[in-house]
Each structure stands twice: as structure tokens, then as C-alpha cells.
Amino acid sequence: MLENLKKEAFETNLAIVQHKLVVLTWGNASAIDRASGVMAIKPSGVAYDTLTWQDMVLVDLEGKVIDSKLKPSSDTLTHLEIYKGFVEVGGIVHTHSPWATSWAQAGKSIPVLGTTHADHFSGDVPCLPPLTLGQVEEGYEKLTGSTLVDHFLSNQINPLHIPACLLSGHASFVWGKSTAKALENAIALESCAQMAYHTLMLNPAANFPDYILNKHFTRKHGKDAYYGQKG
């Protein structure tokens, strides 16, 4: 079972490269097995073109390495905080993809400006402010994750309705019920970030009605969804 978890994480890590969300080693993906309390994640700094599924590092929910001589990603504790905070999440993707990262570096949330965004995200994708100096010194990666979770909980944002977050000056974390869904959401985020930028260049006053946003999101998500095929 844990071999399959490694393979799942490995395939997602390869996919984020194939979809041009990652260059060099600027990203990582993870998968979790809730029953065993084990996460598989990319090893730190290992080039994607040499990566094998056996290289994936298994860690417990406290970040202790279970079976590898390789160090896990430096973002391991962030992933774990997201998994612990959002119990329905089964996969996480973190990349420094150009368009989403541009919004993060500008310290701006990605606004919902049309139906393409609304099909995947039920509102703006938030951008959180940088951690304080004290937080960075206390535990940068762990507090990055816990601050993200706290923002969603305190603002009553459903993490499955807006399954992504930007970190000011950094990049994005994206998640889903499965690794496949996390990958899909990461691809959607990058495309929406690009379109939002161009939209605002063409019309800085662009906006989008909430009633159309709600219609497009609910026709694809939730109990009354009717998009796609059944069975």
C-alpha cells in the first residue's frame, strides 16, 4: 500500500513538470494515506529528470522520516499542516508556476473575473501576507501551513470550494480530495492567473456578477451539480 502511495506522489510530481508548472526543482507534490497516517513527498532538491518512484520519502504526520535515506522536501511541514487542517484533502501540489507566482509576488489575490475561474474556484484565490520575522524564526514551514489553514477557518472559506492559496512573495499551494484533483486545480489556477492578468490589463475595472459565479460553481460542484456525465 505504501509503495502505491509513493508511486502516486511520484506520478503527480512528474505531471507538474509535464504541465509546465515547474522548472528546475521549483515545486513538489505529495499524497497522504489517512488510514496509516503516512505522507509521501518529493525528496529535497532532487532533479526531476533523475527522480524515481523509490525516491519518494515517506513521513509520519509529525514529519518523521519512515523509510528513506533522502531528506524530504523543505516544504514537508507546510504540507502536513494543510493535511491536518483540511481533513478531506488527499493530495497537495506546490509550484512556482509563473503566472500564479507573479500574483503572489505582487501580494495580490487572484480575482474571479469570469466563468472559467468560477468553474474551479467559488471566489477569489486569497493571497496571504508574509509571516512576521518572529514567525519565520519560530518555525517557517510549519507556520506557513498553519497560518494558511487558520486563514481559511477564520474566514469560513471552504477549502474544497477554493482549493488554493497564494503566499505573498512566495508562490501557491493547491490541494484536492485526491492527487489527481490537486493537479487539476493547480493547472486551473495557473490558467486563471494568466487570464486574470490579461483581463485587468485590458480593463482595470473588470468585474463579474456573483450570481453568475454561483451558478457556474454550483453546476459543477455540490449535490445539485449537473455538469458532466453520471455513472
C-alpha cell at 49: 529528470
* Rg of the chain on CA atoms, in Å: 17
- Using CA atoms, how far apart are residues 178 and 183, in angstroms rounded to an integer? 9
Catalytic-residue membership of 211: no
- Using CA atoms, how far apart are residues 200 and 179, in angstroms rounded to an integer? 31
- Using CA atoms, how far apart are residues 185 and 179, in angstroms rounded to an integer? 10
- Using CA atoms, how far apart are residues 70 and 164, in angstroms rounded to an integer? 28
Give me the catalytic one of 119, 124, 150, 197.
119
Catalytic-residue membership of 227: yes
- Using CA atoms, how far apart are residues 105 and 191, in angstroms rounded to an integer? 17
Give me the catalytic one of 60, 67, 210, 227.
227
- Quote the distance between the C-alpha of residue 191 and its chain's center: 14
C-alpha cell at 38: 503516512
Cα angle, residue 189 at apex, residues 77 and 131 outer, rounded to 5°: 40
Whole-angstrom CA distances from 203 to 118, 197, 199 are 19, 10, 6
Q: Residues with catalytic annotation?
A: 119, 227
